Amino acid sequence: MPARTKLPSRKTGDGDPPSGPPPSDPGPDARDVLLGLLKGELTFGAWLGVSADDLRKLVELADGKMAMGRHHEARRIFEGLTALEPEVAGFHLGVGIACEAEGDVDHAFDAYTRAIHLLSDDEDPSLCAAYMGRGGVRIRRGDDAGALVDLALAREHGGDADPTLRDLLAGMTARCAERFAKEAD
């Protein structure tokens, strides 16, 4: 484990309080930044100067961790990306996929739902993936009717060509029809 860097403190020597005046008022620039962050007018990523290339490299790193089965590490990277840029649906989708791989279906469901809400472009392939992911979580939860709706929406948003989705949707349709028939008797 690497050595931890000791952070500077305001203490001097043997625990004596610092001499001099307390830290000054942060000033109008700091207040403007804070207000921008709180109002959603500024993201942490923009404030910190994180470039699109930096974000792309972090996504690649997280994808590599997922491919190696290191789901928890990938999840932490994707969660960090959502903190930097909370309005990027793909980062929430990554959190959902990593959470689901870890078996944390509640957080996966929330992350998929957030991605769905952020995506307004019906042509975005991430929308199909988010509906598929949330549908899969609903299956694991035993929510067949909800899964059927999500999987149908995934198909509607570009999943027509996906044979796995078609098979899953056909199976869910049959399963729901069977369950509803039993309940009707």
Residue 5: per-residue pLDDT: 37
* DSSP structural state of residue 6: P
Structural tokens at position 81:
């990306």
State whether residue 166 is helix, strand or coil. Answer: helix
Neighbours of 81 (CB within 10 A): 22
CA 103 to chain centre: 15
Q: Which domains occur in the chain, in start order?
A: 43-118 (1.25.40.10), 120-185 (1.25.40)
State whether residue 19 is helix, strand or coil. Answer: coil
Structural tokens at position 116:
């769905």
pLDDT winner (highest mean) among 23-32, 63-72, 117-126? 63-72
Between 121 and 21, name the one with better pLDDT: 121
Residue 121: per-residue pLDDT: 66
User: What is the spatial distance between Cα 90 and Cα 60, in angstroms, rounded to a whole number?
Assistant: 12
For tokens 């207040």, the residue is: 31
User: What is the spatial distance between Cα 32 and Cα 26, in angstroms, rounded to a whole number?
Assistant: 10
Read off the pLDDT of each residue in 47-58 and give the average, rounded to a whole number. 78
User: What is the spatial distance between Cα 181 and Cα 184, in angstroms, rounded to a whole number?
Assistant: 5
